[in-house]
Every structure is written in structure tokens, then in C-alpha cells.
Amino acid sequence: ALLDGPRLRLTDADVPHRDFPALTLDHDLVVAHRLAHDPPWPRERVVATPLLAEPLDVALAVDHPLASRDRLVARDLADERWVSVHDGFPLAGVVTHLAALAGRAPRIAHRVNDFATAAELVRADGVIAILPRITARSLTRDGLVLRPIAETGLVRHVDVLARPDALASRAV
């Protein structure tokens, strides 16, 4: 045995915001994310422990005309084509919000729920995307840059969710 102690089993589940708490029925700990305006986690069912508040940035190909700017504003993005997540997922509303600030409907070219795939589409197709600054830092290579949006302060909250009975276990 490499280590004495509890065995870990990791699972990846791609679910809408509202479905994260239900994952605690099958898992001791669930790493979940939400936007600041999303409803709070249901306190009667789960204990939420904040991990980080992560700014959200616009991902651009390095040769995109907006990539030379240090910061962007929503109106800069009005005519852009987007890669976004599927409806109901935590970052879906961000593109819609930015489009509303710019006064135009968003032009969604692709919908994928994987940050690495979104980054590849940004590099290859000239689209732009919303990516989390810290998590996506490793993706900012080979012609991809992240730029903050000046007037919005967009942030996602990453939390650990658990049932109270699971937290009573010494192993957890």
C-alpha cells in the first residue's frame, strides 16, 4: 500500500447549478461552483465551505483585435461570436448578461461545457469565451490570452458541499 488511510474515489459530473446539492447523496464531498447572483446552497441539506472566489475573464486568440487591450468593456464584445456552456450551467448567464450590457443578443457559435475544449475553439475559430482566471491559467498558452471585463466584476464562487452526517466522519 502506498498510503495508509481512506481510499479516494474521484468522479466528474457536469451538472446544472441546481443539481450540485443532490450529488452529496452519492458523494461525501462535492466541489461545486456558482455565480454571485445564483441562489445560495440549501442550508437545510448541505454544508457549504467556500474554497475561492475566482474572477471570470474573456478568452481571446492572441491575434484577435481585442487581445491587445488590458481590459475590456461589454460594448467591446457586442459583435463577437461566442463559445458558451449549455443553458442551465453556471456560466451560461454570463454571456447573456454581457450581451444585455452591450445592447445586443449574444451570437453563440458553439456550446461546450469543457474549458479546455472552449479554449481550443477560441484558438481555432476566432470565437471568444468566458473562462475562470485561475482555473484556466494553464490554458493560456499557444496563442490564448485572458482579459478582464472592467465594469462587471464577474466572479464565480467555488465551494465544497457536504451532508452534515458525512462531515461527522473522521475520514471525510
Q: Report pLDDT digits (tens) over 102-128.
A: 999 999 999 999 999 999 999 999 999
d(CA 29, CA 163): 8
**pLDDT at residue 13, rounded to an integer:** 87
C-alpha cell at 56: 471570470
**pLDDT at residue 171, rounded to an integer:** 84
Read off the pTM: 0.86
**pLDDT at residue 14, rounded to an integer:** 85
Where are the alpha helices (H) located in the chain, listed in sequence order?
A: 92-102, 115-125, 164-167
CB 156 within 8 A of CB 94: no
pLDDT of 95 above 80: yes
CB 75 within 8 A of CB 102: yes
Count of Cβ atoms closer than 10 Å to residue 19 Cβ: 13
